[in-house]
Amino acid sequence: MTTNTIDLEQEYRSVRQALVRAGLMIGSIDALHADWQRWVNDSKSAVGRRRAAWDVNQWWAHHLSLFRCLMDRAHLTARAMRKLKDSQGDSASPALNSINLSEGT
């Protein structure tokens, strides 16, 4: 394993843990992680040599950045508001209007 691969593995574990803490489903990140690991392992074979022009580590780093975006303040706030609205039905409107979206930005 290269240093880049090890760093991406650590980043995956960190992002996955944050997704779990945020209450998000992790099936997609786990499936993409399995694909990435398979492609990294295949890089030693003929299949991997054909993919040499396509940097699987770059592909995986890009996908990890997309998953990290799911945990930014705007996404977390939107999910919290949706959860509040869903749990309270129409009566949630006054509560939603009182939430200050500009806090912490």
Q: Is 73 within 8 Å of 104 (Cβ atoms)?
A: yes
pLDDT score at 8: 93
pLDDT at 94 over 70: no
pLDDT at 92 over 70: no
Confidence of residue 10 (pLDDT cuts 50, 70, 90): very high
67 and 34 within one domain = yes
88 and 62 within one domain = no
Give the Å distances, CA to CA, from 102 to 39, 65, 73, 74, 75: 42, 24, 10, 10, 13
pLDDT score at 21: 87
pLDDT mean over 1-22: 86
Q: Is 43 within 8 Å of 51 (Cβ atoms)?
A: yes
Which domain, by its residues, includes 7?
3-71
59 and 23 within one domain = yes
82 and 31 within one domain = no
Q: pLDDT per residue over 26-74, tens digit each?
A: 999 999 999 999 988 887 666 556 555 468 888 999 999 999 988 888 8
89 and 64 within one domain = no
Q: Could you tell me how far CA 105 lies from the centroid of its own chain?
A: 21
85 and 64 within one domain = no
83 and 64 within one domain = no
Q: What is the DSSP string of 13-56?
A: HHHHHHHHHTT---HHHHHHHHHHHHHHHHTTSHHHHHTTTS-H
State the helix-helix crossing angle for 56-69 and 27-42, rounded to 10 degrees.
170
Q: Is 29 within 8 Å of 19 (Cβ atoms)?
A: yes
Q: How many domains does one find in the chain?
A: 2
55 and 88 within one domain = no
